Amino acid sequence: MLPWRFDMIDGVGVMRLMGIIGQLDPRAFRAFMGAFIFLCFGFFSSDASAQALAVETLEGGTEVILVTEPLAEASAACWPRANEVLEAHCVMGSELVFLGELEKEIVEGDAPPVVVVVGGVGRSALIDLLRRTLRDRLLSPLDERRTNAFEEGGQERRLGTLGAPSTLRLEVPLPPPESAQRSAIEVLWHLLPRYFRVEHPGLRSGIVGDVGHVETSVDPELADVTLRKLRLSLARLAGDPALIGSEVENEARRLRIGRQAELERVEPATRQLLDLWRRGGADAVRHHLFGPDGVTVLSVREAARGWLPSHPGHAVLVLPPRVFRPRFAPGPLEVRLDNDLAVAVLERPTASLSALVMRPVLLSGLAGDVEAVILARVAAALRTQETRPPFIKVEVHPPRLELATSSDDFASLTEALQEALEVVANDHQEVTSSETARARALRLMAGVFGLDSSSVVSPAGVLASENLVIGAVTPDAEAAVEALRKFGVGGTSSGAPRLSASLVDQARRRLPAAGRKAAVAAAIYFEEGFPIPEMVAQIVNQRAETVLEGARVDILHPLLPGRTVFVMLVEREGSIDELETLLEQSWSDLFSLTTEDEVQGVRRKVAASVISTASGVMGRARACAQVAAGEDSWREPAKAEMTVLTVELEAVNATLTRILQTETMERTSSGPLPVILSSE
């Protein structure tokens, strides 16, 4: 407001004033005129010629928002489509045709809840047109205000692009668009890299929609530390924001000019303002246009103190593929503990979980479902604990117990497992399997392999530490091994299944079984390592569907330290003699030489099986269990897949030829025996 009113100065006063001015020297006269001009015009913004906002509600309820742009020859109008939340109908044209185009496009349907117009169109002509066009039309239902759902306080990981650095992004919701604090927080957000340049060099900030983010490059292993440090810096800034007036003023000016420049492209600007209206009404549009003009050091400080402490934000750790799947990372740490427990622990600092897989070794898969039943008892004991692991699963083929917890909680996982083992592993009572031909044939095959199949299979024996192997994946392998040593995972009894003192040739090969089905288990020995046995097993399994018609065929892979052997279990209705004869006659067809076409399909199937079993944290823990058992050497899943896909046809055929040339087939059988009638 001016210090005086010109209409209160009479003629005498003017004459006196002019006389005083006339007596001034030229320098004083220029100073006086400068002060006079400032008093008259200095109280108005230097941007008084910028955009102007007009908001008016028509009689039918339609709200008209007009943003007049200086020097704009084009205009654009947007309004929501009926029953469409995100779609907008837009019209754009020059000063000569805009109103005509708008009248043609808006004549049909219900009256829209809002019409947003940006450009140089005159206010009176626009309002008159809309009043005339929308008169006596029903108002379209108003869309619900759109809000962006945002969960704060959490943390997630996302896969980045190949070759990019690991980055930590902290996303914080901004005040709603209709809030007077919005522009002040946006100014503060753009100033963060300057204020944090010492604590967080290289910090970048930005705003997308209603979310502000700060981003910095980070070592994946130190992401949690960096996140805590960044949140502490924001809290410290909110408590005592050390702001510099000139920096705030310059940033507010940049924000104002940036928003003004966006309005120069009238159609995108109209869509943006319509989106703002949907989120915050006319107030959101008003604050977007004029909010930066009111930003001061005091308003930024008050906004920081009032907004930041209650919004911890959401952290996103973006990791490139090399972090998730490191190419040259070391293999697992292999240790045999004092209680004779074999352990293989893979250290992966970026693992999202700590995983543990426990498998019995001797009798692995050859005792029917007995081992899985015993592991299920351990799982049941785990589930009764107050601090039970979040993930507990028992697999049957092959028998194994899988556990998982958070990446930093492996010690509690081993403690819970040992508590459950102490409950179950002291039971020396025999656990019997079903007395089917299938189960009996497998137990006889265990005897062929040199295992004392006649011994009692009990929880105490299966869970003895010398009969268990553990594979694990954790961020810290040494700490995991120490936890296993501390809690002494495994039973304490010495009742594990043991090698038979009798010669293998003396093992029983046949047992009768009730029922109509017979079962034959045939041992297939391999001199070659991965992936030849897996390839041959898949080939035989595919061929058995047609060669052994009506039979069920399973390929088992028991854990036998120092030996690679598969067991082909064939089950079919009929007597033992009939099934053995069928298997002998079909043996050459099952193991005949293969072709490139057949091998190509087998490669894909085996590769898919390998990668699905060994992928991820739990898959690597399964692979570590195999390494601990001495069954296989360590390889990354991607390398294992490539090994399968590049296996040579000649290598597969060489193995098939060797199996065919084996003179005797080791097999065990069970089922109904043929009835022999004696002649008198």
454: its two tokens: 């006649």
How many whole angstroms separate alpha carbon 162 and alpha carbon 610? 24
Q: CB under 8 Å to 574, separation ≥6 — which residues?
A: 516, 517, 518, 671, 672
Cis before 475? omega within 30: no
Q: Which one, of 366, 360, 378, lies nearest residue 418 by Cα?
A: 378
149: its two tokens: 């759902």
For the chain, 680 residues long, the average pLDDT of each consecutive 10-residue run is: 38 47 54 47 44 89 91 90 70 90 84 92 92 86 59 77 79 91 93 89 90 87 82 84 87 90 89 90 92 92 88 84 62 91 90 90 74 92 91 90 92 93 89 82 84 71 90 93 87 53 54 90 90 93 90 86 85 91 92 94 92 88 90 84 92 93 85 62
How many whole angstroms separate alpha carbon 384 and alpha carbon 636? 36
151: its two tokens: 């969960």
603 half-sphere exposure, CB direction, 13 A CA radius: 18
**The one-letter amino acid at 197:** R
Q: CB under 8 Å to 284, separation ≥6 — which residues?
A: 176, 177, 178, 276, 277
pTM above 0.85, yes or no: no
Between strands 517-526 and 667-671, the pairing is antiparallel
How many whole angstroms separate alpha carbon 316 and alpha carbon 552? 50
Between strands 667-671 and 510-512, the pairing is parallel
Q: Which one, of 358, 355, 423, 360, lies nearest residue 389 by Cα?
A: 355
How many whole angstroms separate alpha carbon 438 and alpha carbon 645? 34
CA dihedral angle for residue 605, residue 607, residue 613, residue 615, rounded to 10 degrees = -140
pLDDT for 39: 41
Tell me the sheet residues that pair with 172: 212
DSSP secondary structure string, 471-483?
Answer: EEEES-HHHHHHH
CB contact at 8 A, 118 and 266: yes
pLDDT for 505: 42
pLDDT for 241: 74
DSSP secondary structure string, 4-50?
Answer: S-GGG--HHHHHHHHHHHHTS-HHHHHHHHHHHHHHHHTTS-TTTTS
Sheet holding 314-319, edge to edge: 155-159, 314-319, 167-173, 211-217, 204-208
How many whole angstroms separate alpha carbon 589 and alpha carbon 660? 10
